Structure 1
């Protein structure tokens, strides 16, 4: 997940995965590399963004594909989000917490939702 201000970045894939077209930037973990390293690389390759402070937020075996999904979160350091990989992506959008349900109608993995509930609200709060 890439978070900036009070929004999280969602990308629409050309081909659905597990019935979803909209998801967070994602990709394979290369042999010998960490999940966090993969998240940094995929954010850059798919959206043109440089992110930092990437932390693992949870793992889940996808119920439809059986693939291990590792959810990481990071902040934008530089760049402007755009579709940088036209072979995989059709479009991208920054969404608020309340808009996520329109892109992922079945809801998010609980640790991911819990992280976004805190991260997006803290960034919105005038005391933050």
Structure 2
């Protein structure tokens, strides 16, 4: 079996959910290499936009209903090699909890100054720029 490249595998959509001066992060049960804490995310399904996938994955993983407000960018993730899309989202309703217990074991609302403790290798620059503005205003 041949290994698929980033272009052949479905893209991953991540939701950057900001609420009350914090960003939502989830901890996966199975780490993707050094990735443990990350944003709610999952594969983009056929016929689905990255924004729709971000909204769906957030609901499936955390039970939180969100709206996509801004597409932040796309890149091939340097740690996983997966094509990643990032979407800023705002909370519409619900309370975040670990709903998908097969995939997640924890979640946290993280303040801007705490992000390096959760993601020590740094964030994708457009995501960091968005959070710099969203979490300090």
Residue 72 of structure 1: CA displacement?
Answer: 0.7
Residue 60 of structure 1: CA displacement?
Answer: 1.2
Matched, 1:12 2:15: no
Mapped to 2, the partners of 1:28 and 1:54 lie a distance apart of: 19
The TM-score, its normalising length taken from structure 2, stands at 0.86
Mapped to 1, the partners of 2:111 and 2:69 lie a distance apart of: 20
Residue 64 of structure 1: CA displacement?
Answer: 2.6
Residue 6 of structure 1: CA displacement?
Answer: 0.2
Aligned length: 122
Q: What is the Cα-based RMSD across aligned positions, in Å?
A: 0.9
Residue 53 of structure 1: CA displacement?
Answer: 3.6
Mapped to 1, the partners of 2:46 and 2:70 lie a distance apart of: 19
Q: Which runs of 5+ in 2 are unaligned?
A: 1-15
DSSP-derived class of the 1:14 partner: strand
Aligned to 2:9: none
Aligned to 1:78: 93
DSSP-derived class of the 1:38 partner: helix
Aligned to 1:102: 117
> What are the residue-to-residue correspondences of 1:53-92 with 2, within 5 Å?
53-92=68-107
2:68–2:87 contact (8 Å) kept in structure 1: no
The ranges of structure 1 where at least 4 consecutive aligned residues each deviate by more than 2 angstroms after the TM superposition are none
The TM-score, its normalising length taken from structure 1, stands at 0.92
